[in-house]
Chains A and B, each alone.
Chain A
């Protein structure tokens, strides 16, 4: 079975919700929709206070080339447009909408019927994706249309669908493949058409055997007219869902330091993004809902939920049985790459993929002791970096040296800190140094 070569770790999977079907979270009385749910320039609001909006209506236009549109997820009246603090204390410009009924835009197809035919041209598909505000739903939220317009000198030959879901606890991608397998494959075909290629690989880790079997049984229907979509089972290893790791695992190609994946002829899209593309192109439905996993060892009814963007995460948590006693940390996202948050009373956005509740014992950091130069972090680093060195450099503000040691290659997966027997906060400092080095490089390029 394939996997990537360098580094990697094996955290406990804890995929307790793998067999729990999606449940819909009821629409709340008020939603808070941030205007910057993506990488790049924030969207510019195009509604005013007091305006009536319908579900699926554009409320923010892209603020630049690398930006995405934002849509209302409910119907109602715009109450306020103001800065709201998110779960990490960062201010975001948000549109707050009071919900009135559930009135959708007329052109959206609300039915569940599968539409397999797509007669649109590549250009039209891209336009629809842009208009629907689709971003990479794997967590980075990079606008999808930008990724589907690779630089002209890059010869794209393969589309990789990232259905690895290597984070512990998370299972919503798994459920999506099981429940919406047909839609996902149609989505893959649409993206292939947009890119003008006909080879796609869906990479799935081997702990989702039922999803692999399900997709494999569906594929023969769709592999017509020269289209080759295949499903590849991958050996379990974290962080296989990293773009560069996945490319290496599936194609054996290596993305060089500083290069983009398109340079190796590959475009990677998350499976949830592919589903969103299907909905946008075939059903005219922009991203209004997101799927997330609410999980934790002590949670009463852990499960996978679908909720409207802007719904307080507390609603989903309440459906899962609330926060159990003795919870030490609430994590937004998976336990490896996610960040802990103060409260669940913050709105869900395109970045949200899970709420994981760790109990007190699991969540406490160990006591930091001296580095004993065991090299476990170097062994674990999937990018071939030296985390012990980089963290020290960043602590001592040796940014030139850190840049020379390719600190900007760090994908912030946390393998180094996970594997450190001295409990050193390696990633914290590497992340800090990376931010500083990136700022210095940006400054230099602007001059």
Chain B
């Protein structure tokens, strides 16, 4: 008998709760656009924040609410993902240029004179608060790998032999997490060229030429030779520092040979043909 009573009571409690839950669910139902879920489904789900939203769900909500997809782009998924999102929402996906991160410091630690010895925590931000790092160049990479930690795609690594920070352009999605993590602001997003080719000024030293040169043999001294030779007006000099506009640059490589300090670097190009080769 006791067993029957217990079963009966539990069944009744169960039924009453079920009815209650159902009624409450109907009453407090949150109307949500089913397309948000669909959009979220096609997003990569990295939650990197590269799009400027607080994660993929938030980005999906923004896409659904938006009247056009202008300015909305997922750096990780790229154009393909945005096309899918566009198909779900019945909108045209905006053209977006794939980007890749570059580290604008040559960081050949052995070449640079050091001004002090840092023995504190292995963290760029903490090191930055003390005389901007160990080297005499106050703009240089600190090399403790805040960017490596920030990257969710394993695209950044530190080459411990040279001390330089290396970006694997194939893995990099251009989400800009590293750009935000770097206390020196030396990581920049640049246009991703085929075969990962890249030309950029690998320096952020804004000091005057003489001072910059003392700090590092490969520093940009702001001489302006590259700007003169550039046919596409892609190079500007501000605060003693050259900057190549990634959208205007056509990778002609004329500026590279002009640079007296080797601050402009080329990556993944075949070697230039010299006149002797042609003969």
Q: Which residues of A contact B (CB under 8 A)?
A: 85, 87-90, 339-343, 364-365, 395, 425, 428-429, 431-432
Stretch at the interface among B1-9, B121-129, B152-160, B190-198: B121-129
Decide if A89 touches B131 in the complex (CB within 8 Å).
Answer: yes
Decide if A432 touches B120 in the complex (CB within 8 Å).
Answer: no
Chain A residues, CB < 8 A from B131? 87-89, 341-342
Q: What are the nearest 8 A-B pairs in CB distance?
A: A89-B132, A89-B131, A425-B121, A428-B121, A428-B126, A89-B138, A365-B119, A342-B131
Chain A residues, CB < 8 A from B116? 340, 342
Report Cα–Cα, A343/B121, bound state, in Å.
22
Query: In the assembled complex, how far is the CB of residue A431 from the closest CB belonging to chain B, in whole angstroms?
Result: 8
B115 in contact (CB, < 8 A): yes
Q: Which residues of B contact A (CB under 8 A)?
A: 115-116, 119-121, 123, 125-126, 129-133, 138
**Looking at the complex, which one of A342, A365, A425 makes contact with B115 (CB distance below 8 Å)?**
A342
Decide if A432 touches B126 in the complex (CB within 8 Å).
Answer: yes
30 intermolecular pairs with C-beta atoms under 8 Å apart:
A85-B138, A87-B131, A88-B129, A88-B130, A89-B131, A89-B132, A89-B138, A90-B132, A339-B130, A340-B116, A340-B130, A341-B131, A342-B116, A342-B131, A365-B119, A365-B120, A395-B123, A425-B120, A425-B121, A425-B126, A428-B120, A428-B121, A428-B123, A428-B126, A429-B123, A431-B126, A431-B129, A432-B123, A432-B125, A432-B126
Report Cα–Cα, A20/B1, bound state, in Å.
98
Query: In the assembled complex, how far is the CB of residue A153 from the closest CB belonging to chain B, in whole angstroms?
Result: 36
Report Cα–Cα, A342/B120, bound state, in Å.
15
Looking at B115, B116, B131, B133, the one whose CB has the most chain A CB atoms below 10 A away is B131
A-B contact count (CB 8 A): 39
| Closest partner residue, chain B, to A87 (CB atom) | B131
| Closest partner residue, chain A, to B136 (CB atom) | A342
Looking at A89, A340, A395, A432, the one whose CB has the most chain B CB atoms below 10 A away is A89
Query: In the assembled complex, how far is the CB of residue B177 from the closest CB belonging to chain A, in whole angstroms?
Result: 12
| Closest partner residue, chain B, to A426 (CB atom) | B121
Chain B residues, CB < 8 A from A85? 138
Query: Knowing A85-B138, A342-B115 touch, does A429 contact B129 (C-beta < 8 A)?
Result: no
Chain B residues, CB < 8 A from A339? 130
* Supplied contacts A425-B121, A428-B123, 19 more A-B pairs, CB within 8 Å: A85-B138, A88-B129, A88-B130, A88-B132, A340-B130, A341-B131, A342-B115, A342-B116, A342-B131, A343-B115, A364-B119, A365-B119, A395-B123, A425-B126, A428-B120, A428-B121, A428-B126, A429-B121, A429-B123
Report Cα–Cα, A431/B126, bound state, in Å.
9
Report Cα–Cα, A432/B123, bound state, in Å.
10
Chain A residues, CB < 8 A from B133? 89
Report Cα–Cα, A88/B121, bound state, in Å.
17
Chain A residues, CB < 8 A from B121? 425, 428-429
Report Cα–Cα, A281/B125, bound state, in Å.
43
Report Cα–Cα, A341/B131, bound state, in Å.
7
Chain B residues, CB < 8 A from A364? 119
Query: In the assembled complex, how far is the CB of residue B48 from the closest CB belonging to chain A, in whole angstroms?
Result: 14
Query: In the assembled complex, how far is the CB of residue B9 from the closest CB belonging to chain A, in whole angstroms?
Result: 43
Query: In the assembled complex, how far is the CB of residue A430 from the closest CB belonging to chain B, in whole angstroms?
Result: 11
Report Cα–Cα, A342/B138, bound state, in Å.
12
Chain A residues, CB < 8 A from B115? 342-343
Chain B residues, CB < 8 A from A340? 116, 130
**Looking at the complex, which one of B119, B126, B130, B132 makes contact with A429 (CB distance below 8 Å)?**
B126
| Closest partner residue, chain B, to A328 (CB atom) | B117
Query: In the assembled complex, how far is the CB of residue B240 from the closest CB belonging to chain A, in whole angstroms?
Result: 12
Report Cα–Cα, A395/B125, bound state, in Å.
11
Chain B residues, CB < 8 A from A395? 123
Report Cα–Cα, A365/B130, bound state, in Å.
15
Query: In the assembled complex, how far is the CB of residue A356 from the closest CB belonging to chain B, in whole angstroms?
Result: 16
Report Cα–Cα, A341/B120, bound state, in Å.
14
Chain B residues, CB < 8 A from A88? 129-132
Chain B residues, CB < 8 A from A87? 131
Query: In the assembled complex, how far is the CB of residue B196 from the closest CB belonging to chain A, in whole angstroms?
Result: 30
Query: In the assembled complex, how far is the CB of residue A339 from the closest CB belonging to chain B, in whole angstroms?
Result: 7
| Closest partner residue, chain A, to B132 (CB atom) | A89
Report Cα–Cα, A361/B125, bound state, in Å.
26
Chain B residues, CB < 8 A from A431? 126, 129
Chain A residues, CB < 8 A from B126? 425, 428-429, 431-432
Report Cα–Cα, A87/B116, bound state, in Å.
12
Chain A residues, CB < 8 A from B119? 364-365
Chain A residues, CB < 8 A from B138? 85, 89
Query: In the assembled complex, how far is the CB of residue A404 from the closest CB belonging to chain B, in whole angstroms?
Result: 20
Report Cα–Cα, A389/B28, bound state, in Å.
40
Query: In the assembled complex, how far is the CB of residue A208 from the closest CB belonging to chain B, in whole angstroms?
Result: 32
Chain B residues, CB < 8 A from A341? 131
Report Cα–Cα, A429/B120, bound state, in Å.
10
| Closest partner residue, chain B, to A85 (CB atom) | B138
Report Cα–Cα, A340/B130, bound state, in Å.
8
Chain B residues, CB < 8 A from A89? 130-133, 138
Report Cα–Cα, A365/B122, bound state, in Å.
13
Report Cα–Cα, A85/B130, bound state, in Å.
12
Chain A residues, CB < 8 A from B132? 88-90
Query: In the assembled complex, how far is the CB of residue B146 from the closest CB belonging to chain A, in whole angstroms?
Result: 11
Chain B residues, CB < 8 A from A432? 123, 125-126
Query: In the assembled complex, how far is the CB of residue A113 from the closest CB belonging to chain B, in whole angstroms?
Result: 44
| Closest partner residue, chain B, to A366 (CB atom) | B119
Chain B residues, CB < 8 A from A425? 120-121, 126
Report Cα–Cα, A343/B133, bound state, in Å.
14
Report Cα–Cα, A395/B119, bound state, in Å.
18
Query: In the assembled complex, how far is the CB of residue A371 from the closest CB belonging to chain B, in whole angstroms?
Result: 14
Report Cα–Cα, A90/B138, bound state, in Å.
9
Chain A residues, CB < 8 A from B129? 88, 431
Report Cα–Cα, A249/B8, bound state, in Å.
68
Chain A residues, CB < 8 A from B125? 432
| Closest partner residue, chain B, to A367 (CB atom) | B119
Chain B residues, CB < 8 A from A342? 115-116, 131
